[in-house]
Amino acid sequence: MKAIYMDHHATTPMDPKVLEAMMPYFLENFGNPASVTHSYGWTANEAVEKARTQIANLIGATPKEILFTSGATESDNLAIRGSAHALRQKGNHIITCQTEHKAVLDTCKVLEKEGFTLSFLPVDRYGGVDPDHLQRAITPKTILISIMLANGEVGTIHPIPEIGKIAQEHEILFHCDAVQGIERIPVDVDQLKIDLMSLSGHKIYGPKGIGALYIRKKLPRIRLEPLLRGGGQEQGVRSGTLNVPGIVGLGKACEIAKEVLPQEAVILKDLRNLLFKGILSNLDGVHLNGHPENRLSGNLNLSFESVEGESLLLGLKGVAVSSGSACASASREPSYVLKAMGVREDLAYSSIRFGIGRFNTQEEVDHVIGEVVERTKKLRQMSRHFEKAGVMV
């Protein structure tokens, strides 16, 4: 069997339909959408505007509310820094969560050095934010709340409807990093009362290096302070020549996501449950991290007692999974997400994240179950052997 990819929260393979849509814009339709005097520019611009519509249709927005970026990291930076500086005269307090993506946390920490006040909300043992904690953290100077849609490491989905309602009641901007889960969870920005939302192409079977930021245009209209200046593209908020092939790919990926979302979520959940039950029925000392029900359909984060996570990862033959967040996987420290949830340090070090995606099969799940069970038993046997021999493990 070929290598099995089960790390879809780190990145996803491109859907062949996405690549097919992109190809003409690398070759014959190579124009710059800012070239308004000839057909090459017109064709490129039409493709960009079509993609805006495709993205807007996925999230219940209007095309004019979609702004293109290089990816979710830029979208997060633009949303948080852009709104913070634009609203500084109104206040300097920002609320976020301890388990947010580093693109949010690090951006907030930079703002803290610039004189902004930060509140980092705790999470419960499942990794979820308590809306009551948010309510108590709000002050007269609060200008922005930034809470992700779902945590890509443990899969827990945050109570976004409640958070959006609180933000609206207090007239505070609400930014949501929706990178994880946008193709798995139905999202309507109006119903959820989201003002700013970050998206990424490579997490929804689209290309890398492209993202989008939803910016509410309805009252109260949001005006962001730009991070990049130059040609005035994207309504002057994000200058730079547009990545037309990437934009086309992101649009197509969003169109596909809208078409397949209901049935795909059910399929992924079934495969996820099959994987969980298969491992649990063959191994003791396995702990689920994240909410047991209110979680992303393809996410399974497990800790294995008496096993070091990295050893288990290296021992899985031809299976691509991860320990913790891919963006921080070079760190030797235990996951900051699991630490915030109160997971014991030894279990945090032994965590493995399985991310099931669109092209995984039941046959692959069965194979991964066998590999995980076999390798875990071997590692535990080795651990007991070293302990009996008086060797530290």
Over residues 291-316, the mean pLDDT reads 93
- 328, pLDDT greater than 60: no
Output the 3-class SS for 236-283: HCECCCCCHHHHHHHHHHHHHHHHHHHHHHHHHHHHHHHHHHHHHCCC
Between 2 and 44, the higher pLDDT residue: 44
Give me the percent of the chain exceeding a pLDDT of 90.
83
pLDDT at site 222: 79
- 391, pLDDT greater than 50: no
Q: Which residues in the chain belong to E strands, given as ranges?
A: 4-5, 66-69, 93-97, 117-121, 142-146, 173-177, 196-200, 211-215, 286-289, 299-304, 319-320, 351-355
Q: Which of 223, 256, 289 is where one domain is finished?
A: 256
Its domain, for residue 236, covers 16-256
Beta strands 211-215 and 173-177 are unpaired
Side chain identity at residue 256, one-letter code: I
Q: What is the DSSP letter of 72?
A: H
Over residues 313-330, the mean pLDDT reads 75
Q: Which pLDDT band, with edges at 50, 70 and 90, does 327 fall under?
A: low
Could you read off the pLDDT of 285-298 as tens digits, one per residue?
999 999 999 999 99
pLDDT at site 332: 64
pLDDT at site 326: 45
pLDDT at site 230: 82
- 171, pLDDT greater than 70: yes
Q: Are residues 282 and 321 in the same domain?
A: yes
Q: Are residues 146 and 246 in the same domain?
A: yes
Q: Which pLDDT band, with edges at 50, 70 and 90, does 390 fall under?
A: very low
Lowest mean pLDDT across 173-177, 285-289, 388-392: 388-392
- 364, pLDDT greater than 50: yes
Does residue 128 belong to any structural domain of this protein? yes
- 43, pLDDT greater than 70: yes
- 226, pLDDT greater than 70: yes
pLDDT at site 124: 97
Q: Are residues 306 and 355 in the same domain?
A: yes
- 321, pLDDT greater than 90: yes
Do 84 and 111 contact (CB within 8 A), yes or no?
Answer: yes
Could you read off the pLDDT of 228-277 as tens digits, one per residue?
888 778 887 888 889 999 999 999 999 999 999 999 999 999 999 999 99
pLDDT at site 235: 83
Q: Are residues 60 and 183 in the same domain?
A: yes
How many angstroms separate the first and last alpha carbons of the chain?
33
Omega cis (within 30) before 13: no
Q: Which pLDDT band, with edges at 50, 70 and 90, does 310 fall under?
A: confident
Could you read off the pLDDT of 47-72 as tens digits, one per residue?
999 999 999 999 999 999 999 999 99
Count the domains in the chain: 2
Q: Which of 225, 256, 287 is where one domain is finished?
A: 256
- Burial of 36: CB neighbours in 10 Å, binned 0-12, 13-18, 19+: exposed
Beta-carbon-side half-sphere exposure of residue 110 (alpha carbons within 13 Å): 11
Between 236 and 212, the higher pLDDT residue: 212
Between 223 and 292, the higher pLDDT residue: 292
Q: Are residues 189 and 275 in the same domain?
A: no
Q: Which of 222, 256, 290 is where one domain is finished?
A: 256
Could you read off the pLDDT of 371-382 as tens digits, one per residue?
999 999 999 988
Instruction: Write the CB contacts of 262 (distance below 8 Å, at least 6 apart in sequence).
Output: none
Please give the mean pLDDT across all residues of the chain.
92
Q: Are residues 275 and 133 in the same domain?
A: no
Q: Are residues 95 and 143 in the same domain?
A: yes
Q: Are residues 96 and 109 in the same domain?
A: yes
- 383, pLDDT greater than 80: no
Of 97, 108, 176, 327, catalytic: 327
Tell me, yes or no, if 254 is annotated catalytic: no
Q: Are residues 179 and 267 in the same domain?
A: no
Over residues 312-337, the mean pLDDT reads 77
Could you read off the pLDDT of 112-134 as tens digits, one per residue?
999 999 999 999 999 999 999 99
Does residue 393 belong to any structural domain of this protein? no
pLDDT at site 308: 87
Could you read off the pLDDT of 1-22 as tens digits, one per residue?
689 999 999 999 999 999 999 9
pLDDT at site 389: 44
Q: What is the CATH number of the domain that holds 338?
A: 3.90.1150.10
